[in-house]
Structure 1
Amino acid sequence: MLFNELKETTALLRLVLLLTAWELGSGQLHYSVPEESKPGTFVGRLAPDLGLEVAELASRLSRVVSKGGRAYFEVNLQSGVLFVNSRIDREELCGQSPLCAIDLEVIVDRPLRVFHVEVEIRDINDNAPVFPVNEQNLSIAESLTFPGSRFPLEGASDADIGTNSLLTYKLSSTEHFTLDLQKNDEHSDALVLVLINPLDREETPLHRLVLTATDGGKPELTGTVHLVVEVLDVNDNAPVFNQSVYKIRLLENAANGTLVIKLNATDMDDGINKDIIYSIRSAIAPSESAMFSLVPHTGEIRVKGELDCEDANLYEIRIQATDRGNPPMAGQCTIVVQVLDVNDNAPELAVTSLSLPVPEDAPPGTVVALISVSDRDSGDNGKVTCSIAPHGPFQLVSTFKNYHSLVLAEAVDRERVSEYHLVVTARDGGVPSLSATSSIWVPIADVNDNAPAFPQPVYTVSVKENNPAGAHLFSVSAWDPDEKENAFVSYSVVEGSVREQPVSSYISVHSESGHIYALQPFDHEELHVLEFQVSARDAGSPSLCGNATVQLFILDENDNAPAVSPPPSVRGSSGPELVPLSAVAGHVVGKIRAVDADSGYNAWLRYEVQEPGSAGPFRVGLYSGEISTMRALEEADGPSQTLVILVKDHGEPARSATAIVSVSLVESAQAVRWDSRPRGGSEGPLVDMNVSLIIAICSVSSLFVLVIVVYVGLRCQPGPEVTYGCGKPAVVCSSEVGSWSYSQRQSRNLCVGEGTAKNDLMVFSPNFSQDSENGEAGKSIGKHVHYFFCLELHIL
């Protein structure tokens, strides 16, 4: 400022000295007026100053003439005052000249005189500083321009002069630039923009500054210019991703071409320096390059292959973004693609080992098979649950993770179910769930746990006596529900004794077929019932056996003829029987005693006179054998009678014996003599039994009905439990002779009169004829009952 003030003072002194010298030298009149004075502004008293009278100005036709022809000033002829006539612009008239004056000629006629008047136009601060342009543009390269760099600017100009044209500059606030004003000479200044801090285009690509020029006038005037500093880009920034790691979750069933991600790296540079090309780094695994594709210019990553979570569930793709600067710069990022599982794999079942077949005596808890399950999916899609159907005697037990044991849950019985078909189902937890099945055939191995069993515990068999040796009597068959050797049954007779003889001497059993054969002929008169046990034994280890009782009833055949013997009272006598002549009708003369070793009908005897015409007054009881008179005896009947008595049984064919009875008629009663000469038939023991036998048969028939009722009641009860084992079982006997059946073993003795006891009891209903003889026999049965029965029942 001090320098500017000194400069202005020096210029003003020069101007004063110049005017003084000019006035002294030329004698012309000098006025001064500020520019831009309003018309009518007083300039000076022209008439007095020129030595003229004011009154004569009009008469002498005074006038003012300006050079250039423009009338800036006029003279008031009435007052003689010089005033401004029109606008005066010093800068228009003189420009930048320090001295600006308008020369006037004042012409006065009568006489003509010319006066020179100089009007100095004083400068006022009516012009603000002006820059050549409204906006100055600068281009400065970032990074390559260092602090202290200088950039020239065009300064402002001021049309005023002197102090009014003295300019000062000011730059708007900035941390990057400052101004430096250098004086080149008296008339020109050098304005420079100086860089004080480095520029960063990426931080501020354009700096807008305001340069203000202020003059020295009062009041000050200013002028401004906008400085636009464009920071030129230098490839000093690499492309940058907004994330260093991108995590993408993608379903494994994503279709080919599915967009995974669109990358958007940014480069703070400009122009080609920010043009980015994307690429997959060469270090990528081959599997990743096969699964994904990258569009270089857009940064789109898409699915290229078929994703499978089970093969790879995680991919790391390294992406590089490179700009096109020189030299190029690159940025990197990593894309982590997590492949999410989809339930696209069904469980897999594998039976790793089998312990087959399963013995039927295997205890619960026995492991039958080991089953492994797997599912290539993950999470709930890979969680597998197993089940079996049908449940039956098996269950699945989870042992370790994906391993299960097929375990026997309860006892099995091969005879009930020989094989199980199990279906193992594995189902995952996906939605919807997937499943797999596997079939397991579990055969049950046989164990010899069943003894052979007969259909019935007791067999009742009838066979006629006198059978041939080796005859087939009966067949037994036992069934064993086991299989193979455990079911192979062999038969044998359980040893025992009958009449002090071993059972094996009577019968034999074929070991394979179970046929029972007679080893000798049977004699009903010696053995009525042969009871023995047959054992059925399997071939298992250890073997098991079952027994059945066979009651072999030996049926009677008519193989014995009746035997006639005299009564005990006359044994040894050989004379005739004496009958008194006074005997009336019905008088019993005597009795034929006969016995038949057979039984039943075969032992039921009937007595007949062989030649009825020769019997005379005598008759014989049909079933009693009593010889009695049919009428009173007469002398005409002769001294003696001989009767031929025929004794016949009821067998088929019938057998008979004859006895000759000699009857002598005497005056007094004597015993009848029995002729011991039987005809046809062998002699046997005497038993007085004909009438008694009939009574016994009727009594036993009644008893038979009672026994039948008892038998039916016992048969309706549950049968005895068959005990397996080879020990001697309890004997349960049943006998059947004729129509009489027993449900329990019975010992029976029939005692008839005073004869020998017969171990036999036959039941039948006698068929009596309707003739008189039969009727009398019936009466005789009612009259002559000399028999008693002894029946012993032993129920085991």
Structure 2
Amino acid sequence: MNALLLLIVLWWHCFFLLWSTIHGQTRYNIPEEMKQGSVVGNLAKDLGLGLSEIFDRKLHVASEAGKQYFSVDAGKGELVVNERVDREALCGQSASCVLPVQVVIENPLQLHRIEVDIRDVNDNSPRFLKSNHVLEIAESTVAGMHFPLESAEDPDVGSNGIKTYTLSKDDCFSLKVKEIENGRKIPELILDKTLDREKKAIHNLFLTAMDGGNPVRSGTSKITVTVLDINDNVPLFESMLYKVAINENSANGSFVIKTKATDMDQGPNGEIEYSLGIHTPPSVLSVFDIDAGTGEIFLKGKLDHETQASYRIDITAKDKGLPKMEGHCSVQVDVIDVNDNAPEIVITSKPSTVPENSPGGTVVALLSTRDLDSGDNGKVTLQLPMGSLFNLKPSFSNNYALVTSGVLDRENFSEYNVEITATDSGSPPLSSKKSIPVTISDVNDNPPVFTQPSYNVYLKENGLPGSILYSVSAFDLDLGENAKISYSILDSKAQGVSVSSYVYINSDNGSIYSMHSFDYEKLKVFQIQVQAKDQGSPSLSSNATVQVFILDQNDNAPAVIYPSSAVLGSLSHQRMPRSAKAGHLVTKVTAVDADSGHNAWISYKLTEATDASLFTVNLYTGEVRTKRAVSEQDDSSQRLLIEIKDDGEPVQSATVTVSVLLEDGLHEPILDLRQKTAEPSKKNGRITLYLILSLASVSVLSLVTFLILAVKCIRNSRSSGSCCMRRSDFDDYKNPNRNLQIQLNTDGPIKYVEVLGGDMLSQSQSFRSCMSPMSEYSDFTFVKPSSTTDFKEMISVLDASLPDSTWTFESQQVSRNKRLILYAMIFPFYNFLIVQYFITVQRDLLPPPCSLITLNTDNV
């Protein structure tokens, strides 16, 4: 065991000598057997560290020998003795005893080495293996003969080792000390003069071994010399030193070497027996054996090069004479190393946690390798798996740093077990593996991700405030605070109002709640920009769009817009001649519904009538017509109650009461109007002629343009029996203004109403109506208003355009012609409008089926 410790110490000694050539050297010198807690040196000062850094950087001492001989006093930064240091146990008989110590500093990782030189203390006395040594010498032995004696053993070294031997005084014997290799001293007994058994048969001598310590220590062995009678030839070996090498894996019973001695005597005095020397230590006796008759040495134990690389065996050859004579030789057995030890990987620092955004070359752990074999068998190489994100960076000797070499991503791998393979250069090579766990810490490198980039939410109008609209959800691949998500609504506007006034969001779970009830007629759709933000530093975020569609509910009853008196709450009075035939248009009830879809589909029904057989109401248009011709027996006053319903659920309705007065000899105002327009005066004709001459003199090009437009208008009027709708009209309908515009022109005999609504967000609509005096029926219809808001202003305008309004067409016509002539002379660019009007009035003063009349309102 002492030899093994000696080898380990020598190995570390060589290791740290190499280290010192690279990094310099910190060395302390202490005597052995110091008390526990004794100060070796001020480690913090020698390493250039402050006392606070000892705690912050976790300075500690690593041991490779299995025992922690030293520790660090964290309060003073001193290296102190932790366990008893026995130089003899550590270094044996080695002249130098240096104990290497590794000092590991973390955060960041650093490795320092120091050497502690252990000085020998004279704490051991010389000791003989046997306290009594019997030596038989024949009396015929000539003077000057040398007899090797047992040498004493002293674990101390240097001056504390054995310095000299002394022998008690005897006339026949003296002492000689012989020094062999390695400075070892062997005492020899010298026969100064021939022995005489008859004078003295036994000589008692005392051999004392003394060391060079202060004070001097000594050990004594008694030597009993028995004088034998004549056997005067000593067995002699062929060689005083035999050398042999044998593999350490040789089996028990293997032949090692044969020794041979000869004796010139005859008979029993010449018969030789071989044996191991009397000084052979137990470590040799347990491994080797000798054949007493042949001198052959055999292996009886297991060899281990790493435990002991060489053996020295003392062989004794004795004859059988009286007295017995013996010869001596030595056998040196060198144990050949065999690659029977796999290399080891030693972790010298605890693997540290690595952030996932660490750059390449970040140190993860420090490690070293060792192999108890020697030569090529002890040369170790390390290897990482193919594609590993880590590298091994050589440091010094057999020390390495495990560093990162690629991009780390905790979301893919949060922990790595880095498997390192150590292989020696023996034949066959041996290997071992070591897994180093490396934990990857999270960095906020992933923004929250919504389950969908956009969400569509359909919400019924008139819902309760505070009700949940929808719950958005996002996830974050990071950990801890980096994965904690809070939700918020980004500021945006809908119809000029901040979205945050409509809804709010639960910042923890992403649930969106309404802040008030929604009205489809005011708001149909709006967008919510939701942001998901994590709690990392810096924080990351992502957005998603929530489209909220308001669904219409039937919450508006139909509103009557004609007859106007019914709108205002009074009875509507209509006149009808008794000469009216079946199908005669009495009036037309018009209503609108602010809802949309089926909720805005309106139907008309006659619920009560003075004479139900006389009148009928169209289910969809609201036209009130006669079912039969009026007879003399019919009452002159007829009262009709008309119910107006929508198609929603539940059904909303309204009613209107119409009073019809039957009169004899009543002419329809529209026919009278036509007659008036069909009889232009001569003065009007002259004015028209002046107008034509003015227009012709302005521009020939304008005239051609006017003619083309006139032809197109004539064709359109012939192909259409009702309203003329130009492409520009459709364009205006498709792209309405923000404000609802209703314009009415009452200057001509034709009444045309056009209602232009705003865009979708203003909830405006467009409607058109024509009232043609060429027909006996009124053809005025509102298709869709934007709201049931007050229509009084609009209806008052419409009343002025209905057939029962009274006005003079001819006087207005003449006045207008005069103004047009003046405009044509002053503003030539008005020619287009004037010609259009001219075409209208010149065709027997009969207008086309429709003339454009527009009503203006503001966001009804």
TM-score w.r.t. structure 1 length? 0.51
Change (3 A) 1:575 1:534: closer
Deviation larger for 427-436 or 411-420: 427-436
- C-alpha deviations, 1:348-398, integer Å up to 9, x for none? 333333434332223333333334333323344434444455855345555
Cα separation, 1, equivalents of 2:429 and 2:581: 119
Q: Match of 2:345, as an amino acid?
A: L
Asked if the contact 2:377–2:425 (Cα under 8 Å) also holds between the matched residues in 1, the reply is yes
Corresponding residue for residue 205 of structure 1: none
**For 2:404, which of 385, 403, 408 is the aligned residue?**
408
Separation (CA, whole Å) in 1 of partners of 2:296 and 2:616: 145
- Output aligned runs, 1:180-219, within 5 Å: none
CA–CA distance in 2 between the matches of 1:297 and 1:478?
Answer: 94
Does residue 592 of structure 2 align to residue 577 of structure 1? Answer: no
Is the 2:566–2:656 Cα contact (8 Å) retained in structure 1?
no
2:414 equivalent in structure 1: 418
1:649: which partner in 2? 646
Q: Which residue does 1:382 correspond to in 2?
A: 378
Determine if contact 1:581/1:668 at 8 Å carries over to the other structure.
Answer: no
User: Structure 1 pair 640/746, CA: closer, same or farther in 2 (3 Å)?
Assistant: closer
CA spacing shift, 1:757–1:630, aligned 2, 3 Å = closer
Counterpart residue number, 1:553: 549
Q: 2:434 aligns with which of 410, 434, 438?
A: 438
Distance of aligned partners of 1:561 and 1:339 in 2 relative to their CA distance in 1, 3 Å threshold: same
Q: Look up the equivalent residue of 1:588 and give its one-letter code.
A: L
Contact 1:616 1:641 in 2 (8 A): no
Say whether the 8 Å CA contact 1:578–1:670 is kept in structure 2. Answer: no
1:752 counterpart residue number: 767
**Greater CA deviation, 294-303 or 457-466?**
294-303
Correspondence for 1:669:
668
Kindly indicate whether residue 257 of structure 2 is the aligned counterpart of residue 261 of structure 1. Answer: yes
1:629 paired to 2:626: yes
Q: Cα deviation per residue 1:315-354 (whole Å; 9 max; x = unaligned)? A: 2335566779999998765433221223333333333334
Q: Distance in 1 between matches of 2:572 and 2:510?
A: 62
- Asked if 1:306 is matched to 2:283, the reply is no
The worse-fitting range, judged by mean Cα deviation, of 651-660 and 639-648 is 639-648
CA distance in 2, matches of 1:468, 1:588: 47
2:850 and 2:352 mapped to 1: Cα distance? 81
1:496-521 residue CA offsets vs partner (Å, 9 max, x unmatched) = 23333322221111122222111111
Name the stretch that deviates more: 636-645 or 317-326: 317-326
- The answer to whether the 8 A contact 2:565-2:571 is kept is no
Counterpart CA distance in 1 for 2:474 and 2:584 is 65
In the alignment, is the contact (CA less than 8 A) between 1:473 and 1:517 conserved in 2?
yes
CA contact 2:316–2:326 (8 Å) conserved in 1? yes
Aligned residue in 1 for 2:597 = 600
SS of the counterpart of 1:753?
Answer: strand
**Are the structure 2 counterparts of residues 347 and 613 from structure 1 closer, same or farther at C-alpha, using a change threshold of 3 Å?**
farther
471-480 or 246-255, which moves further after superposition?
246-255
Q: CA RMSD in A?
A: 4.4
Higher helix fraction (1 or 2): 2
In structure 1, C-alpha distance between the alignment counterparts of 2:637 and 2:538, rounded to whole Å: 83
Among candidates 327, 336, 339, match of residue 340 of structure 1: 336
Which amino acid counterpart does residue 652 of structure 1 have in structure 2? E
Alpha-carbon displacement from aligned partner over 1:155-205 (angstroms, at most 9, x marks no partner): xxxxxxxxxxxxxxxxxxxxxxxxxxxxxxxxxxxxxxxxxxxxxxxxxxx
Which amino acid is 2:441 matched to?
Answer: A
Larger Rg: 1
How far is 1:604 from its partner?
Answer: 1.6
Q: How does 1:303-702 map to 2 (within 5 A)?
A: 303-319=299-315, 333-388=329-384, 391-396=387-392, 399-430=395-426, 433-566=429-562, 576-611=573-608, 614-666=611-663, 667-670=666-669
Question: Is the CA contact (8 Å cut-off) linking 1:578 and 1:671 kept in structure 2?
Answer: no
Q: Structure 1 CA distance, aligned partners of 2:491 and 2:586? A: 56
Cα deviation for residue 400 of structure 1 reads 4.7
1:390-423 CA-to-partner distances (Å, cap 9, x unmatched) read: 8553455555554444443332322223333444
**Conserved in 2, the CA contact under 8 Å of 1:241 and 1:332?**
no
How far off is 1:311 after superposition? Answer: 0.8
Secondary structure, in 3 states, of the residue corresponding to 2:599?
helix
Which deviates further from its counterpart, 639-648 or 513-522? 639-648
Cα deviation 1:275-330 (Å, max 9, x = unaligned): 66656566766644543334455322232432111111222335566779999998
Q: State whether residues 642 and 655 of structure 2, in contact with CA within 8 Å, keep that contact through their aligned partners in structure 1.
A: yes
2:245 pairs with 1:249: yes
Q: Which amino acid aligns with 2:544?
A: A
Q: Distance in 2 between matches of 1:654 and 1:239?
A: 139
Distance of 2:430 and 2:276 partners within structure 1: 38
- The letter for the 2-side match of 1:525 is E
CA change 1:589–1:613 in 2 (3 A) is: closer
Deviations 1:200-219 (A, max 9, x none): xxxxxxxxxxxxxxxxxxxx
Specify the alignment match of 1:19 in structure 2: none
Code of the aligned partner of 1:753? R
The farther-off stretch of 256-265 and 650-659 is 256-265
From the superposition, tell whether residues 268 and 758 of structure 1 become closer, same or farther in structure 2 (CA, over 3 Å): farther
1:175 corresponds in structure 2 to: none
CA gap 1:471/1:267 in 2 versus in 1, 3 angstroms: same
Q: Which amino acid aligns with 2:589?
A: I
Indicate if the aligned counterparts of 2:455 and 2:547 stay in contact, CA closer than 8 A.
Answer: yes
Cα distance in structure 2, aligned partners of 1:563 and 1:758 = 10
> Which segments of 5 or more consecutive residues in structure 1 lack a partner in the other structure?
1-142, 145-232, 673-690, 693-698, 704-744, 761-783, 789-796
State how many pairs are aligned: 466
| Code of the aligned partner of 1:751 | S
Kindly tell me: are residues 545 and 332 of structure 1, through their superposed partners in 2, closer, same or farther at Cα, counting changes over 3 Å?
same
Per the alignment, do residues 630 and 371 of structure 1 end up closer, same or farther by CA in structure 2, a change over 3 Å counting? farther
Give the whole-Å Cα distance in 2 for the aligned partners of 1:488 and 1:283.
Answer: 80
Partner SS, residue 500 of structure 2: helix
Mapped partners of 2:232, 2:488: distance in 1: 116
Deviation at 1:756, TM superposition (A): 11
Contact persistence 1:579–1:671 (CA under 8 A): no
Q: Which one-letter code corresponds to 2:593 in the other structure? A: D
- TM-superposed CA distance for 1:526, in Å, is 1.4
Once residues 499 and 554 of structure 2 are traced to their aligned partners in structure 1, the CA distance between those partners, rounded to angstroms, is: 26
- Mapped contact 1:589–1:671 kept (Cα < 8 A): no
Residues in 1 aligned to 2:850 and 2:621: alpha-carbon distance in whole angstroms: 10
> Which residue of 2 is the match for residue 13 of structure 1?
none
Change (3 A) 1:527 1:288: same
Q: Note if contact 2:231-2:325 (Cα within 8 Å) is conserved in structure 1.
A: no
Give yes or no for contact 1:577–1:670 (8 Å, CA) kept in 2: no
User: Matches of 1:435 and 1:424 in 2, distance apart?
Assistant: 10
Over 3 Å counting, the alpha-carbon distance change for 1:328 and 1:441 in structure 2 is same
Q: Residue type of the partner of 1:669?
A: E
Q: Is the 8 A contact 2:234 2:327 kept in 1?
A: no
Match of 2:149 in 1: none
SS at match of 1:611: strand
Is the 8 Å Cα contact of residues 565 and 572 (structure 2) preserved in structure 1? no
Q: Report the AA paired with residue 308 of structure 1.
A: D
Indicate conservation of the 8 Å contact 1:532/1:550, yes or no.
yes
Larger deviation, residues 371-380 vs 392-401: 392-401
Within 5 Å, which residues of 2 pair with 1:158-177?
Answer: none
CA shift at 1:652, angstroms? 0.6
Tell me if the contact between 1:425 and 1:435 (Cα under 8 Å) persists in the aligned partners.
Answer: yes
User: Structure 1, residues 720-769: CA drift from partner, whole Å, max 9, x if none?
Assistant: xxxxxxxxxxxxxxxxxxxxxxxxx9999642238798679xxxxxxxxx
The separation in 2 between residues aligned to 1:757 and 1:304, in whole angstroms, is: 119
**Corresponding letter in the other structure for 1:372:** S
Determine the C-alpha separation between the residues in 1 that align with 2:763 and 2:501: 25
1:534 match: secondary structure: strand
* One-letter code aligned to 1:523: D
CA separation of 1:257 and 1:283: change in aligned 2, threshold 3 A = same
Q: Is the 8 A contact 2:424 2:430 kept in 1?
A: yes
